[in-house]
Structure 1
Amino acid sequence: MTPPQNNQRLRRSLLFMPGDSLRKIEKAIALGVDSIVMDLEDGVALSQKEAARATILEA
């Protein structure tokens, strides 16, 4: 009997960051972390949330 396969990817590192700076997002991608979580809540000023959404889509 073969063991069940686990198709989930191992995530050893997570980087949490505000999503309002394309430069920072590009730098985070270059770091080679397993996952990047871009914050649109507390990490971004209320007046910048719309622009941050567009920045994340662009990245």
Structure 2
Amino acid sequence: MVAKYIGKPVEIIYEDKNGRFSKRGVLLFCRKNGLVKGYCYKAAQMRTFDENRIYAVAPIRQVV
């Protein structure tokens, strides 16, 4: 689902390990072994996301 967005800014709907959902703007860098690494604009730092907990991905044109 996310492979075609590598290198692009996207908005994701993500469930963390505690079951909380969030919407985040992320610049995706790579995907390997079910993990997706990218720069999270909300946290202002690099993050690793479990691909199985990403429920939606959509391209974004402008980062706020």
Q: Place the TM-score, normalised by the shorter chain, in its bin.
A: under 0.3
TM, length-normalised to structure 1:
0.22
Q: Higher strand fraction: Structure 1 or Structure 2?
A: 2
TM, length-normalised to structure 2:
0.21
Larger radius of gyration: 1
Q: Higher helix fraction: Structure 1 or Structure 2?
A: 1
